[in-house]
Amino acid sequence: MKKIIILLIYNLLITNVNAQSFIGAWERHHTSENGAELKSVVIFSDGFQVISTYDSKTGQFIYSNGGTWNLNGDTMTEKVEFDTNNSDRVGTEVTFKVQINDSIMAIVDSGMKFKRIDNGTPGKLEGPWLMSGRIRGGVKQLRDTSRPRKTMKILSGSRFQWIAYNTETKKFMGTGGGTYTTIDGEYVENIDFFSRDDSKVGLSLKFNYELLNNEWHHKGFSSKGDPIYEIWTQR
């Protein structure tokens, strides 16, 4: 009888995990060893995820890793595509158990709990995107998205992060992220962290955006003030 009860409880836990969706953004507030107040944000899209940690007061970038993910029961497996602290992890798989409800996601036996920020809405660009081209001087210049050198953006309903990396050389080139909105054809990024230049933290960048034939056309000015016209393709 005891074994049956344990099995029923286990099945209920598995059913609860599978019934909930990880899609969206999650956050965790914690403290570093030297007392700094940190914030970690996880973005889950369909098949891809990223986590980043930064100083919640200054925006100083601390750490990021990400790649693909899948769920089997209550066990999550992530294949690492980039890791800012340890490039040797690129290409490896990490497996751990998770618990989830409508508002909390927990990594079992780690003490880490994340509070849901959004469920993939209200922004209109939720998902993983790869830089697939630019338009310069009216000429469309395409990029092969299957090559190991990638520039990727992952968006939830309110959070975004871009990452430049190479899965073959395991080199990490840079990242930045924060919140975003999509209102009346205008895409606005509010930068919370930027690995290459902390002075960009706090900037709001406005762009015109349009979805054309499953491509995200992105026009405006970069954080350096340079005009850009980028094309992104959903991964």
CATH of the domain at 40: 2.40.128.280
Nearest to 200 by CA among 230, 219, 224, 180: 224
**Shared-domain flag, residues 133 and 114:** no
pLDDT at residue 194, as a whole number: 97
Query: Do the domain assignments include residue 35?
Result: yes
Residues 229 and 155 in one domain: yes
Local confidence band at 9 (pLDDT 50, 70, 90 cut-offs) = very low
pLDDT higher at 96 or 2: 96
Residue 11's pLDDT is: 42
Q: 1 or 194, which is more confident?
A: 194
Q: Are residues 132 and 201 in the same domain?
A: yes
10's tokens: 């286990």
Which residue matches tokens 């990029």? 143
Tell me, yes or no, whether 135 and 108 share the same domain.
no
pLDDT at 12 over 60: no
Residue 12 included in any domain:
no
- When divided into structural domains, the chain yields a total of 2
Question: Which pTM does this prediction carry?
Answer: 0.90
Q: Whole-number mean pLDDT of the chain?
A: 92
Residues in the chain, total: 235
In a domain, 178, yes or no: yes
- 199: containing domain: 127-234
Q: Tens of pLDDT along 24-65?
A: 999 999 999 999 999 999 999 999 999 999 999 999 999 999
What are 81-91's pLDDT values in tens digits?
Answer: 999 999 999 99
Which bin fits 232, alpha (ψ -120 to 50), beta or left (φ > 0)? beta
Indicate whether 218 and 134 sit together in one domain. Answer: yes
Token reading at 54: 């930064």
- Residue 3 clears pLDDT 60, i.e. is over it: no
The CA distance from 151 to 132, in Å, is 9
Would you state the pLDDT for residue 150? 97
> Pairing between strand 186-194 and 93-100?
unpaired
